[in-house]
Amino acid sequence: MRLTRRAALKGVLAGAVGAVAGTAAYGVGYERHHLGVTEASLPVASLPPALNGVRIALLTDIHHSALVGADDVRAAVDLTLSLKPDLIVLGGDYVTFSDRSRYVGPVAELLAPLSAPHGVFAILGNHDDDKDMAAALTHRGFTVLKDQRTRLTLRGEKLELAGIRFWTRKIADLDRILRNAADTVLLLAHDPRRLAEAAALKVHAVLSGHTHGGQVIVPGVGAIYKTRFPILHGLGRQANTSIFVSRGIGTVYVPVRINCPPEVALVTLRATEPKRS
């Protein structure tokens, strides 16, 4: 039987559609729930020797909603506790804007078991209500940093955490928050685009989320929004400021992850020499 060109094209098209459908089904049914640990060593210029090796768990972009259920949040909490970090950072977007009023209290309750020797610190993302989400997290004993700075003592040395809201973007506003910081400063910024301002202000390091790592990574193409951010996922650096960006836990808009599984990040601070200008 002779295979016509039309039949061949139909066969190729059917195979392509089937592959796309299969990939999407995998991303919905499996990969978005396939939570793992990503370990990273974050270089910090002039880090005091005593702080070398401090371990920080980073959970971000949980997006508890009708699409991201309680079981996914519980899994992230259990995995984080199993790592026994020195401190925990919650990086924002605990809910999704479209139905956040239903999930603010529940997600805070699901996160409540989190604890670490040096505390749990939270910032807000662009999907979070500035008042309700902050109040719910504070009620569960977490320290919420809204354009604020706090100083910790670890191993006899000082470490300053500065947390900013998503909409805090002007360098003058960041300068006000960071002014007179005398110790190693770690900036908690939901949006990794704040790396530019952090580098200009000589902040030592930044922890971020927001990007979901791209959420859908197309082979040969990459992430759709990769050009919007200086770092989509993992480690980066600008001048003497280093950054780690997490893929996060949940999904937004569509319940799918492809080539971009969710993660709890375990970030270890490592001393490095500053770059010479």
Beta bridge partners of 186: 161, 205
**Which amino acid is residue 78, in one-letter code?**
D
- Give the other-Cβ count within 10 Å of 277's Cβ: 5
Tokens found for residue 79: 């995995």
Q: Are 177 and 148 in contact (CB under 8 A)?
A: yes
In the three-class reduction of DSSP (H, G, I as helix; E, B as strand; rest coil), residue 100 is classed as helix
Task: Please report how many Cα atoms fall inside a 13 Å half-sphere around the Cα of residue 199, on the Cβ side.
Answer: 17
Residue 23 maps to a domain: no
Residue 96 maps to a domain: yes
pLDDT tens-digit profile of 185-202? 999 999 999 999 999 999
* Domain harbouring 206, CATH code: 3.60.21.10
Residue 10 maps to a domain: no
Residue 100 maps to a domain: yes
Name the pTM for this structure: 0.89
The domain in which residue 149 lies consists of: 34-272
In the three-class reduction of DSSP (H, G, I as helix; E, B as strand; rest coil), residue 67 is classed as coil
Count of domains for the chain: 1
Residue 15 maps to a domain: no
Tens digit of pLDDT at every position of the chain (277 positions): 444 433 432 332 333 334 444 444 444 454 789 999 999 999 999 899 999 999 999 999 999 999 999 999 999 999 999 999 999 999 999 999 888 889 999 999 999 999 999 999 999 999 999 999 999 999 999 999 999 999 999 999 999 999 999 999 999 999 999 999 988 999 999 999 999 999 999 999 999 999 999 999 888 888 876 678 989 999 999 999 999 999 999 999 889 999 999 999 999 999 998 877 6
